[in-house]
Structure 1
Amino acid sequence: MAVSRISTTSIPQTGGPLTERRYIVPLMLITSLFFLWAVGVNLNDILIPHLKGAFHLTDFESSFVQVAFFGGYFLAAWPAGRLMEKIGYQRGIVCGLLICACGAFLFIPAASIRVYAVFLLGLFVMACGQSFLEVSANPYVTFLGPPGTSEQRLNVAQSFNAVGAVVTPIFGSAFILSRAHAAAPGSEADVVRLPYMIIVSIFLVMALIIYSAKLPVIQEEQAEEESTQFSGIMAFPHLLKGVAAQFFYVGAQVGVASFVIRFVQHAHPGTLDTEAANYLKLHLLGFMIGRFAGSALMKKIKPAHMLAAFAVGCVVSVLLVIFTSGTPSLAGIVLLGFFHSIMFPTIFALSIRHLGPYTKRGSSLVVMGILGGAVFPALMGRISDAANIQWAFFVPLACYLFVLYFAVSGYKVRHVA
């Protein structure tokens, strides 16, 4: 396997073109991964109502889809980072793709034996693989060109993740929900077999392409030796608040997306899954538009101010969901997608400011905030079962209020060690 080697010291520390000509193909290959793992994350929002019907689950039981997925994401993040130090980015990406393929493959026997726990196991394994991709692809993109444009490259790559979020419900509703309605009673679980066979094939093909590609080997500069103790991080309260803000945001985003279809069916009884999925598509389309628009606006508006404005937008939108009905409530559920768009990367950036030698450790903690995606959907499901789906949206309301606090005050650096 032929490779070239980059020394980060050889690239000028100034702005310039997005990337160099020799890195265009590697950048395109890695960017395609951002689109690919959006399929795994956002297909869950289609799986929840489908498996709920196939296995006659409560809202709480169906939320285990997100518990399994984001639990795997959380648990694999730290081991993935440690392994990446030993085998490098390229092999780490290949490893992640193969793990994803194994997880997706488990859906095939799960559909045959019709055991919900096996579906959850497949999601858990697939999420572990995607955690590997997340840990490896994000920093790798920043090295494929001048450091002065590294953030721009990463934003471009993340935009394709948003595009994948829009495409996935179209794929899911066509291959899963519509076929589920035509399936014979008792065989609804079988309809996931073909879609996941396709997904397995895509992961395997991508693993072969990445393995065979002549990707640059990143030779990072040696950073200052970091403390092995976590006590030093306690000197940065803005980081700890950022970890909490990311935990609450991811929980709200995943929880809302998980129950868009259920909410539409509650607001308009008798609505078919395929019809309700159209609102999920609009929700995710708003997310994509917000990602592009927010990135452009941040050239003129401070990130913290943008985050505060979008948090207020979330609060207003979720209040429409909770306290209104008909068109206003549906508008609220769609608008939440737009206002979610900039939150993850903005919270991340604000949280790791001025950490110095603690930046790597702090970044790991912020990424682990994704665990909120495993906690809050289950809480929303429990409330929905006990009361109704509208009351469940008090959970993301509380989450948005904390994000708003972080954007207004919590992000400010009170002390630098």
Structure 2
Amino acid sequence: MAASAYIPSPSPTDEATGPQPSYTSALASLTVLFFVFGFITCLNDILIPFMKAIFGLSYTQANLINLCFFGAYFIMGIPAGILVKRLGYKQGMLAGFLIGAGGCFLFYPAAASRSYPIFLGALFVLATGVVLLQVSGNPYVAVLGPPRTASARLTLTQAFNSLGTTVAPLLGSALILSHLPDLSTAAANAAAHIDVRAVQVPYLAIGGILLVLSGLLALLKLPRMQSASTQVPEPGRHAWHYQNLVLGMIGIFAYVGAEVAIGSHLVSYLGLPEVAGLSPKLAGDKVAYYWGGAMVGRFVGAYLLSRFRPTRLLVLAAAGAIVLILISISTHHAVSMYSLLAVGLMNSIMFATIFTLAVAGLGWHTEEASGLLNVAIVGGALVPLLFGKVADLSSLHWALLLPVVCYAYIIWYGMRGYEPRMASYYQPEVPVQVPITGL
């Protein structure tokens, strides 16, 4: 089945109006946006071992970084969706850049005071800006062109997001983790001598770049897309009345949770003697392989999703992730290390595919659905926190079984859960029909 089976097809009247306008320049400018919030998000993987060393945190305590960052999606996702619906996509992106810059600047006093709570507060502000960028950018890309290629288009822009997540560990390990001592031999009081400027300078630079990008975006003339559909909403119906969206929210929760849980603990995992025994700096460099695999997979996936059934590719990717994790758990040294790093390749197409399947047929409710799906990104806060708790009680190897459960759900969603239909708990006053064709 072609990708058009999952996305509402253009109406005959649309086709009769002649060739579709070209949005190439707009999509090209949006790749910068996706690169930026990919870079910012992935720096958390570098911050976690750095903060763990400075404050002597357990795995559970260190994962409060993910809780504050991705918790912003849960708290701010719906308000961000409402704001974008009122202001428009471009103004939403502008607000995201400015708020994100403010969060970056707060890292300076947080580092100067060596206060973990202030660090977490700065992360929440920064994440609020990223939420606005996500809520604005994802649906904008989805509607910026033919519906049948929405999955491929979003996967392509997500590939530039992965470019940011690939570059971030390399720069982060060079600028931040290089200031950490060898944690296996460090003295108990070594944390007091760690140079906090390793965090201050990079985030001040990022904040400045975000301000520059906001200025450039303000000057750009992007196509004005009012909504994903011109349909008039029916009274009493909301986005959450669509079963494919509700189950898709769980899918996004599981995917982001699994991806972040693995990525956030790679430095610690690769430092284990039975895995690779790497120093924080060398392990941080290896994290780039994890996110680099996602980048390569998204560039390839942009082509595959325009040629093959998205649900089938989603199932194969999730199954591949499970196999690779189980190999890593049951082996040692190079095989254990590289099999877990290869999970990044399997993650590549998951977000864009789940996202477009979840909003299929929602029409006028697409922006509302985008906000709800971004709320589901709170999986990046809760799953790693549970992962850290399991690791504290047992080991990182046992904790890796938690992402296996997440990927198992994604397999089910790609087989059955994606099917567009009204949720069983929705009882309309008049009969309604799900606005989707081609199934």
**Shared fold (TM-score greater than 0.5)?**
yes
Tell me the residue number matched to 1:255: 261
When residues 160 and 211 of structure 1 are mapped into structure 2, their CA distance, relative to the original with a 3 A threshold, is same
User: 1:175 aligns to what?
Assistant: 175
Letter in 2 for 1:59: Y
Give the aligned partner of residue 117 of structure 2: 117
CA contact (8 A) 1:243 1:366 kept: yes
Inter-partner Cα distance in structure 2 for 1:299 and 1:143: 16
Is the counterpart of residue 189 in structure 1 residue 207 in structure 2?
no
- Residue matched to 2:270: 264
**174, 198, 212: which is aligned to 2:205?**
198
Once residues 243 and 214 of structure 1 are traced to their aligned partners in structure 2, the CA distance between those partners, rounded to angstroms, is: 32
1:223 alignment partner AA: Q
1:26 deviation in Å?
Answer: 4.2
Deviations 1:121-180 (A, max 9, x none): 111100100111111223334565666766554333222111111111111011111133
Q: Structure 2: how far apart are the matches of 1:241 and 1:142?
A: 19
Give CA-to-partner distance per residue, 1:269-327, whole Å, 9 cap, x none: 75210111132111111111111222222333211111111111011111122222222
1:305 to 307, 312, 322: 312
Deviations 1:164-210 (A, max 9, x none): 11111111011111133499843343310110111111011111222
CA distance in 2, matches of 1:12, 1:155: 25
Task: State which drifts further: 34-43 or 296-305.
Answer: 296-305
Contact 1:97 1:129 in 2 (8 A): yes
1:349 and 2:356 equivalent? yes
The 3 A distance-change label for structure 1 pair 188 and 127 is same
Query: How many equivalent residue pairs?
Result: 405
Looking at structure 2, the residues matched to 106 and 24 of structure 1 have their Cα atoms a distance apart, in angstroms, of 36
The 8 Å contact of residues 17 and 146 in structure 1, kept in 2 or not, is answered as no
> 1:138 and 1:347, CA in 2 relative to 1: closer, same or farther beyond 3 A?
closer
Percent same amino acid at aligned positions? Answer: 36
The 8 Å contact of residues 308 and 408 in structure 1, kept in 2 or not, is answered as yes
Q: Which moved more, 1:300-309 or 1:123-132?
A: 300-309
SS in 2 for 1:68: helix
Is 2:86 the counterpart of 1:79? Answer: no
Residue matched to 2:233: 225
Q: Partner residue of 1:276?
A: 283
* CA distance in structure 2 between the aligned counterparts of 1:72 and 1:360, rounded to whole angstroms: 18
- Residues 267-276 or 367-376, more deviating: 267-276
Equivalence for 2:248:
242
| Deviating more after overlay: 265-274 vs 368-377 | 265-274
Residues 261 and 273, structure 1, Cα contact 8 Å, conserved in 2 = yes
Q: Report the secondary structure of 2:244's partner residue.
A: helix
Partner Cα separation in structure 2 for residue 280 and residue 35 of structure 1: 17
Query: Which whole-Å deviations, capped at 9, do the CAs of 1:354-374 have from their partners, x for residues lacking one?
Result: 445555544433332211111
Counterpart of 1:372, as a letter, is: G
CA RMSD of aligned residues (A): 2.8
User: In the alignment, which residue of structure 1 is the partner of 2:437?
Assistant: none
1:137 corresponds in structure 2 to 137
Structure 1 residue 25 displacement after superposition = 4.6
Q: What residue identity is the alignment partner of 1:378? A: L
1:4 match: none
One-letter amino acid of the structure 2 residue matched with residue 63 of structure 1: N
1:211 maps to which residue?
218
The answer to whether the 8 Å contact 2:276/2:334 transfers is no
1:18 and 1:391 map into 2 onto residues whose CA distance is: 52
Q: Per-residue displacement from partner, 1:38-76 (whole Å, max 9, x unpaired)? A: 111100001111110011100000011111000112322
Cα deviation for residue 335 of structure 1 reads: 1.3
Indicate the larger mover: 79-88 or 371-380. Answer: 79-88
What does residue 286 of structure 1 align with? 293
Whole-angstrom distance in 1 between the partners of 2:415 and 2:283: 35
Alignment check: 8 A CA contact 1:18 1:153 kept: no
Q: Which runs of 5+ in 2 are unaligned?
A: 1-9, 183-189, 423-432, 435-439
- What secondary structure does 2:193 align onto? coil
Aligned partner of 1:405 in structure 2 is 412
**Secondary structure in 2 matching 1:256:** helix
Could you list the runs of 5+ residues in structure 1 that have no partner in the other structure? 1-7
Cα deviation for residue 393 of structure 1 reads: 0.6
Q: Greater CA deviation, 254-263 or 299-308? A: 299-308
d(CA) in 1 for partners of 2:236 and 2:132?
23
Match of 2:187 in 1: none
Indicate the residue corresponding to 2:336 in structure 1: 329
Amino acid at match of 1:258: S
| 8 Å contact from structure 1 (residues 51, 189) kept in 2 | no
Alpha-carbon distance change, 14 to 61 in structure 1, aligned in 2, over 3 angstroms: farther
Corresponding residue SS for 1:224 = coil
Cα distance in 1 for residues equivalent to 2:325 and 2:19: 40
**The 10-residue stretch of structure 1 (188-197 or 102-111) with the greater mean CA deviation from structure 2:** 188-197
Contact in 2 for aligned 1:179/1:191 (Cα 8 Å): yes
Counterpart Cα distance in 2 of 1:148 and 1:17? 15
Deviations 1:85-123 (A, max 9, x none): 333322222211110011011110011000011111111
Q: Which residue of 2 aligns with 1:3?
A: none
**Per residue, is there more helix in 1 or in 2?**
1
What is the match of residue 90 of structure 2?
Answer: 90
Match of 1:366 among 348, 357, 373: 373
Instruction: Indicate how the Cα distance of structure 1 residues 15 and 126 shifts in structure 2: closer, same or farther if over 3 A, else same.
Output: farther
Change (3 A) 1:226 1:68: farther
Distance in 2, matches of 1:365 and 1:72, equals 13
Distance 1:246 1:155, change over 3 A: closer
2:322 and 2:404 in contact (8 A); partners too: yes
- Aligned counterparts of 2:16 and 2:132: Cα–Cα separation in 1: 30
